[in-house]
Amino acid sequence: MKKYLPVWMLMASVLIIAETAGCKKSEKVHAHNAIILSGSNAAVNTCGWVIQVTDHDTETSPHNSLKPVNLDPQFQNDSMQVKITYTIPDMPVVKCGSDAGYTQISILNLSHLD
């Protein structure tokens, strides 16, 4: 029995590590009204499509300049007003030119505002 103890301990350690490595902390979901801006506009420094939050509240969400990683082509219209639901990945800042940067986001849901 004693000679199998290290093997069992090793197997238990591997199982514990495998279980915890697959776990990802839950991401906070944000929802805001916003406006989509073309990054070819000099005001946004050629960053591609960016999203500016219009109902920004610094206490609940410090991010108001957003860079989506998955903006559907049907929403790639300059000055389009939208309702957006998104998460922020672990490495959220994207630099564009001389700007301080944009918060990178992954869009969960996007709809036109009427």
Domains annotated for the chain, with CATH where assigned, are: 30-112 (2.40.50.500)
Structure pTM? 0.66
Coil vs helix vs strand at 20: helix
Tell me the two tokens of residue 100.
Answer: 């301080």
Q: How far is residue 48 CA from its own chain's centroid?
A: 16
| Cα–Cα–Cα angle for 77, 78, 84, rounded to 5 degrees | 70
Q: Mean pLDDT score of the chain, rounded to an integer?
A: 75
Contact predicate 62/5, CB 8 Å: no
Q: What is the pLDDT of residues 17-43, one digit of tens each?
A: 555 454 455 678 988 899 998 866 545
Local confidence band at 47 (pLDDT 50, 70, 90 cut-offs): confident
For residue 24, what is the enclosing H or E element?
Answer: none
